[in-house]
Structure 1
């Protein structure tokens, strides 16, 4: 069982300067990833805002994963599932980014990869923080693993179908 220490009203794995520094960077990068991910999803696709903000998302996601790996060392092996979810998020983000950079035909692989990336990132967040969030703390633990997918997968399907409809209409 991992021991927690109180810090500013929160329970953290350690109050050492190293841990708190990595935690601060991790939280800041996660906020950037969450916001830029939403902005990229809602932005007009094509040159301009979407790819620019998407690069910010991927950069922030890489920082989140790197710092998560360091932070997991303080609660190992309990944080192994979070590291795995973070790894899935990074692989999805990198695949979606590389797919687009290589100018492969079609948008579906990019949409699915980036969607999986965002869902996995939110899943790791909710699994780690859900028990401490108002309202979320009332939910059973399994919902933290499932709800991001329950919400995200239908949105990904909608985006894929919409993109296919737009592509078909353009030809």
Structure 2
């Protein structure tokens, strides 16, 4: 008879695959269109389940591997969560809610945890410590950055759009990373974890530049 742990793990994997395809659908469809929003809702919902099930798996078996999985889940989902939440703050008068503050604080804690695990790994001669330090540093930087921005009222008219694009893009990089680490076993460990970031980050910047030019033309 399946246990709670095996059922949770199976559902976790299924939700991860759903997020992978829904996120791609959101990327390929017209921004702001009905299909884009539909794919986006599926993506956010499936990533929320992935994060929640990762935390449950850690609670059921608090091993070092599950601890790492839980921290990565917090890291990954925060970008999706913040990318979704920014849509509710399109107007400068719409400030962050308590939920936004709590999520940013949790990301900072997750970042510190990943940095600590990475430092210990590097001390013990593990090259995987580099991966943990990279993700921990990204978590801490974005968490502190968001908290600082929450304390200011300054916002550009289309800042929400670029924040949404950046955060959802970063969240999808994390989704692809999870798929890569499990399936691309032919790659060296560090490369298996970091290639989505190395490829996806320039892609996000190119998309930002494209829409900056598009909006600039429209405004002109």
Alignment of 1:1-171 (within 5 A): 17-72=3-58, 73-74=60-61, 76-104=63-91, 105-106=157-158, 107-127=161-181, 129=182, 133=183, 136-171=184-219
Deviation at 1:137, TM superposition (A): 2.0
Give the match's secondary structure for 1:45.
coil
Could you tell me how far apart the structure 2 residues matched to 1:82 and 1:168 are? 42
Deviation at 1:78, TM superposition (A): 1.8
- Are the counterparts in 2 of residues 85 and 121 from structure 1 also a CA contact under 8 Å? no
1:11-30: CA deviation from partner (whole Å, max 9, x where unpaired): xxxx9521221122112211
Q: CA RMSD in A?
A: 1.9
Question: Is there any run of 5+ residues in structure 1 with no aligned partner, and where?
Answer: 1-14
Hey, which bits of structure 1, 4+ residues long, moved more than 4 A? none
Give the match's secondary structure for 1:78.
helix
Could you tell me how far apart the structure 2 residues matched to 1:59 and 1:163 are? 26
Structure of greater relative contact order (alpha carbons < 8 Å, 6+ residues apart): 2
Deviation at 1:140, TM superposition (A): 1.3
Q: CA 1:78 to 1:24, structure 2 compared with 1: closer, same or farther past 3 Å?
A: closer
Deviation at 1:112, TM superposition (A): 0.8
Number of matched pairs: 151
Please say which of residues 73-82 and 161-170 is displaced more in the overlay. Answer: 73-82
TM-score by length of 1: 0.80
Could you tell me how far apart the structure 1 residues matched to 2:213 and 2:64 are? 46
Could you tell me how far apart the structure 1 residues matched to 2:90 and 2:174 are? 25
- Are the counterparts in 1 of residues 185 and 192 from structure 2 also a CA contact under 8 Å? no
TM-score by length of 2: 0.63
- Are the counterparts in 2 of residues 40 and 53 from structure 1 also a CA contact under 8 Å? yes
